[in-house]
Chain A
Amino acid sequence: MRDYSRCVGCRLCEIECSLKHEGLIWPAASRIRIHESVYGFPVPYLCVQCDDYPCVSSCPTKALSVAETGAVLVSEDLCVLCGSCINACPGRIPRIVRGKKAVIVCDLCGGSPACVEVCESMGFNALRLVRKPGGEVVKAYLNDPVETSRDLAKKLGVL
């Protein structure tokens, strides 16, 4: 779960994500990205694990699958970087990153996400791990983060 009003924009989640998955500080290869298109109003943006998994069903090489945790898993061997999953995703969340052999998407770190851990331990609590509610409600997080950031700012009278 993401609480936009609590996100301070520190990117520690991006750093921890790339450290966990790549063993390097590599923001561009982070599965979570913070979009701060209106400064002061950052928006965490990552996979929401849709009920219908359009990315998985769109993959022509069957490189994507669903884990027990509900996370989308990518097989590095099968992915051909065709971009079908990106087009199928309502939020264009899977990404092709220079230097990576397969698309990247959040795998929930096998059930204990590094991003949530650091956000909690630093006392910000903008990210929380919750059981996924059913239905389409999670897709609200897939709105264009640039617009979401604008909306947050507008609500507080900044724009």
Chain B
Amino acid sequence: MFGFWGKLLDIDLSKGAVRVSEVPEEVFRKFVGGRGLATWVLWRELGSKWELVDPLSPDNIFLVLTGPLTGYYPGIKLVVSGKSPQCGGVVGSTLSSEIGVELKSAGYDGLILRGCSETPVYVYVDNDGAQIRDATSLWGLGGLKLADKLNSLLRMDVKVELGLDTLPSYIYIGPSGENLVRTSVVMSKLTHAAGYGGYGAVMGSKKVKAIVVKGYGALPRVSNEDRVLKLRKEILSELSSRMRVFRYWGTTEGLWYTGYVTSSEPVKNWMEEWHNVRSFTHEEIERKCWIKNLWSDWGCPTSCMKVSRVFDGIKSYVSDGPDYEMGAYLGSNLGVFDVVSVVKLSALADELGLCGIQTGNVLGFAIELFEKGYLTKEDVGCELRWGNVDCITRVLHDIAYKRGIGALLAEGTYRAALKLGERYGVNLLRYAVQVKGVAVGAHGIRSGLDYPQKIAYAGSVQGGDHTSTAGVPLKSTESEVFTAFLDSAVICFFNSVDAKKLVDYLNAVTGWGFNEEDIYVSGSRILAVQRVLLLLGGPDVFWDPRIHDDNPERFYEPLPSGPKKGEAPRREEVRRDLVSYYEELGWDELGIPREETLLKLGIGELAREVKRIRARVRH
């Protein structure tokens, strides 16, 4: 076994028991690692009763996983997963966190957390195994205070008699995760978040505030050392030269570019996707907020993050750019076109452990309802109008602590739309810009200049996730099959290179002898299992492919402004693309994997779950 250990640390929080689960190499060959491995573990453990498992109950499993390329390939990503409290399927949610490398240095490929602790705890992992430690004093803390307190607690774990070593790394949740908010994230280092899926709430439901890892050993041996070193060097130099502009601006550049040039930025709950506000740009943020222009994570030459700060006289707020998604969703989407406020709102979302995308989306939805008269000042407590930063700030807190209207919005856009719609006896889903319970990322499809695939979100197994979109041709770096592979290998999308080189790298590390075709085979296998679990869904949401494999209603309204004014996809075009996409994957016209496809992919046992979907969809 090269490149990984074949070991997961399996922690039962209800029993306080820790054991090591062995994963055979065969499983890695089929599911690669990361997202794929998560899919395999969840299917095997929960597949037979999937629809009944409440994601926020002790029955759910929380996973923290690395992949075979973690640590060897430039950059660092970590996958967290479980049954998603947003879509009821599996989302392989990624974030930058050094614990990926710490885990491998500690001798494990990942962690399984099951059951639920009675009192708040944090999990401490090193080469000697795991300890479940009391976290009563940490419960309730936001990002900044937690970092301060936990770092000083963890200084005790650094044995100074052995010389001054670095502190362990960790992932954690903010107050919103503790309060089981469905738009909450798993955080690391104040600003990194695994947002899609809502796994902050899963950690919260298990009463786990943080997972701390310190690894003392080396990464596992690779199959061909010389080849790995050579490829590593080549890719480092490719990335450091290719990335000059991206390094300078990071994704913050999108605030202007995605709005003005590609016309695909959410503006006021997606009523528009274009703006020409010259003060809402990366240059403006650099001038007013950046205090450090380059900030990177473990092993990454790209360095796309920045440290930005605003000071409001009482308190300073720190954010990492903000990156484009946060900036767009907490900025233009809410009618906030002032960069200082955007940095402040991004920092607040991070502090509370809220997903900038999911929460920015539900806030935009709520503001639109307020402007349309469905929500009133009595409901909200303030004038929730476009650009009213004070009121938005207040509601952001209300969501994290589930106060007043916040309790409803904390359910995420889809569930909030259903509940409010019921209250008023109208269909409010037409204002909910989400797919299968997951709010779409800040890249619209209407202009065709940014995300050209009309089925990007409609056909994704991770709903509105903009980092895992569907598309044709299947065998290209544009397709979800490829993303599934990246998230399983596990490497950062921004640091990705061509498929041939990636396969080369994977083979040098693992010794597997994959060819390019195998990327798409393993990707297809992972997507098939994800698709089946997504369609099983439950317990409170079920997806009917005929209804829910579609764009949000809003995406069919013609763009009212910008270079592509009047553009919108046609429904029959979307339907046609979906069917041909499914056909390529070996799925039927409803997007249910065919039996022969399952057999070909070596996952024939999945037919048992497919039968249950067919029985439900028939009715």
Contact = CB atoms under 8 A, between A and B. Distances in A.
Contact of B291 (A96, A99, A157): A157
B163 A25 contact: no
Nearest to B75: A10
A115 to B, nearest CB: 14
B161 A86 contact: yes
Interface string B255-288: 0000000000000000000000000000000000
Given A40-B318, A124-B294, A156-B309, A12 B301 contact: yes
Interface stretch (B217-225, B397-405, B461-469, B539-547): B217-225
Contacts of B240: 121-123
Given A10-B300, A11-B299, A158-B291, A86 B162 contact: yes
A39 B291 contact: no
B150 to A, nearest CB: 11
Interface in B343-397: none
Nearest to B319: A40
A106 B335 CA distance: 54
Interface string A115-145: 0001001111000000000000000000011
Q: Which of A27, A35, A103 has the most CB of B within 10 A?
A: A27
B166 A34 contact: yes
B124 interface: no
B127 A98 contact: yes
Contacts of A69: none
Interface string A1-26: 00001101111100100110011111
Contacts of B151: 37
Determine the main DSSP class of A at the interface with B. loop
Interface residues of B, number: 48
B165 A28 contact: yes
B296 interface: yes
Contact of B218 (A29, A37, A83): A29
B568 interface: no
Contacts of B292: 5, 40-41, 156
Given A25-B218, A83-B162, A95-B163, A39 B191 contact: yes
Interface in A49-76: none
A158 B72 contact: no
A26 B167 contact: no
Nearest to A15: B299
A145 B158 CA distance: 14
Interface in B316-341: 316, 318, 320
Nearest to A92: B164
Given A5-B292, A19-B229, A40-B292, A95 B162 contact: yes
A1 B81 CA distance: 42
Q: Which 4 A-B pairs have the closest CB atoms?
A: A95-B163, A26-B218, A10-B296, A8-B296
Interface of B: 71-72, 98, 101, 105, 127, 147, 151, 155, 160-167, 189-191, 215-219, 221, 225, 229, 236-237, 240, 291-292, 294-301, 303, 307, 309, 311, 316, 318, 320
